[in-house]
Structure 1
Amino acid sequence: MQRSPIVLLVAALFAGMTALLVIGSFVSRSPIPFVVAVPLGATAYFMYYHGSGKLLERLRRREVRGRQRQRERTRRARGDRDHGSFGAGPRARGGPRTRAEREARFGAGIGGARTEPGPGTGASSTAWRDGGPRERVSASNGPTTAEARSVLGVDPTADQATIKRAYRERVKDVHPDRGGDEAEFKRVTAAYDRLRE
């Protein structure tokens, strides 16, 4: 809130004049000072409301609420609910984000059909087998937690933020798009998937 001392001072002067006019109206038993005091008091109140910054804050809140309502109306009109950017829909948490990560996790078969998943796939992940429907795959072929920590070079007491940082640093070195080894990239991704569970 921004305060304006000059506006607050003028509001205080108007409030003082209003009080004097109300008192004068009662003393003189004439309604004319009271009639003049009412708009003067309203002016003093609005000047105080503006000078204290409350008016600006209220207008900002109203504008934010209006924008939120407009977004909600637009979303309802398009039929979108809980979608990510560009209408892509919500992303499954922990899923592969790039083509290289998907290939590292699932591998690519003949004609681009998905084959057996790579190491470190979670129990909830799925894979294409011979171009057929999706089947559940277990994570029994991934590295152990100790092996995963060794691959990423983190301590057993490392938290998720440290693990994520270590994974990002390792991926910069081993990513196939940056001239790294694809097998090593698969190992690093599998290790990260194991430690993220």
Structure 2
Amino acid sequence: MQRSPIVLLVAALFAGMTALLVIGSFVSRSPIPFVVAVPLGATAYFMYYHGSGKLLESLRRRQVRSRQRQHERTRHARGNRDRGGFGAGPRARGDPRTRGEREARFGVGLGGDGSGSGPTGWRSEDPRNRVSATSSEPTTAEARSVLGVDPTADQATIKRAYRDRVKDVHPDRGGDEAEFKRVTAAYDRLRE
């Protein structure tokens, strides 16, 4: 709590003048000193509240409560978003998100056999063991050279190299979109 002795002294002087005006109002039986004493007393009270540090403490408590409420709101909203919405639950890492990604990864139809048999059979086989329907995916050696990591690099090193490389080639930062896709494909290949 921060105290200000000068403000407290001025508040005490105002309080003393307020008391004298109230006593003078009763002695003279005139309402005019009392009318002057009311705003003077209010000023003395607020100056004391400020000078004693209680005002600052009250403002800090309000700010902390406001931050806690904001944190609760964002945590609650983030909690709903992390679940996937509509009861979908979290996806496994690397699962395709859209129909186009599923078709590109598993074949023409959703069944993976080219028949378009629907979504029931699209997970029947581990996608990492399948040969890509498109030739755009790099080999492991090509992916390592794109990211600039050696064959003994662990997942943390690969991730760090990917993030550093993306900073240079991301289209939002003035990079080339094709190169960005190439780096992302390389990272996806090494992540599997």
Q: Tell me, yes or no, whether TM beats 0.5.
A: no
TM-score by length of 2: 0.41
Taking structure 1 as the reference length, the TM-score comes to 0.40
Bigger Rg over Cα: 2
